[in-house]
Amino acid sequence: MAHCVHGRSGGHDASGARIGTAFVLNLSFAILELAGGLWTNSVAVLSDALHDLGDCVALALSWRLVRISQRTGDDVYTFGYRRFSLLGALTMSFVLLAGGIVVLLQSVPRLFAPQVANARGMLLLAGIGIAVNGFSALRMRGGKSLTERVVTWHFVEDVLGWLAVLVVGVVMLFWSAPILDPVLAIVITLFVLWNVGKRVKETFVILLQGVPDTLKVGEVEDAIRAVPGICDVHHTHVWSQDGTSHVLTTHAVVENADSYADVAALRRRVKDELKRFGILHSTIEFESRTGPACGDAGAGCRCRELE
């Protein structure tokens, strides 16, 4: 049986540092944004300020949970604490969903009673917003965990949103079109909700031990069968701990591997093959095939476990 060793990794340390930086930047800008939204009377700016303040709470929790996820396995969580980082991703997603609903409740009525917004103020805030969120998105670039991807997507959405605010602000400098402000808020919010919904689905698939969407069990089994000495493979289970660290268990049928040295060599070859799928932790149970040679048509398989 292969044993999984879970320890601290530089990747998780870097993940915590990136999310910590994102939290500080997000909180600072959210406070500025809230004041700016009141100054410009823009529901689009105010809605984003509310959305960012909620994100600050989620980011702080995510930051803490990522640090917890670095802990090694113990008698309670034998696989380690990696899954705690998923709670951060879920929290972030639900905060974004709740904020989006609030924004829609504030914006829809303004479609029927538009209010004049300060276009010059919107342009100023848009410039600052693009700079701050753009830097944050670049800072998060390279993160592979689900939590980091959710946070990165949040900042990318904010950059796109501020670009839209910039365009609307320019238009409103020359034409009186106050309805553009709530329309913009609604479009941005629906775009955010759509993408957050996909992240929530992905998170639940991981929590429910579904096969990662980047893997196909059939392809993994074919790769194992291609290893010289492997007759067949069955009872294969693949799941992910946090969206990046995958786990596999399987039964491999072999021939001419009766000694411990033979089995150990086969295990190493199979594990090397699995690495290209991102599967770094695996438990492989070997069974020896007795009877007709591998590949014989209609051959029955009588197996015994190899200790």
3-state secondary structure string across 131-166: HHHHHHHHHHCCCCCHHHHHHHHHHHHHHHHHHHHH
Query: 217-305 architecture in CATH?
Result: 2-Layer Sandwich (3.30)
- Position 248 scores a pLDDT of 93
The strand pair at 246-254 and 279-290 is best described as parallel
- CA 103/CA 25 separation, integer angstroms: 22
- Of 224, 227, 247, the residue nearest 237 (C-alpha): 247
- CA 166/CA 231 separation, integer angstroms: 62
Classify 253 in phi/psi space as left (phi over 0), alpha (psi -120 to 50) or beta: beta
The pLDDT profile of the chain, 307 residues, written as one tens digit per residue, is: 333 434 444 445 566 667 777 778 778 877 887 888 788 777 667 767 776 776 777 777 777 776 776 777 777 777 777 777 777 778 777 877 887 787 788 778 878 887 777 778 878 888 888 888 888 777 776 666 666 677 777 777 778 777 877 887 888 788 877 787 778 778 877 887 887 888 788 888 888 888 888 888 999 999 999 998 888 899 999 988 777 778 899 999 887 766 778 888 888 999 999 988 888 888 898 887 654 444 443 444 444 444 4
Please indicate, yes or no, whether the overall pTM of this predicted structure exceeds 0.75: no
- 1.20.1510.10, 2.40.40.20, 1.20.950.20, 3.30.70.20: CATH of 10-207: 1.20.1510.10
- CA 116/CA 139 separation, integer angstroms: 36
- CA 84/CA 70 separation, integer angstroms: 9
H/E stretch holding 271 = helix 260-275
- Position 250 scores a pLDDT of 93
Locate CATH 3.30.70.1350 in the chain: 217-305
H/E stretch holding 248 = strand 246-254
- Position 143 scores a pLDDT of 61
Locate CATH 1.20.1510.10 in the chain: 10-207
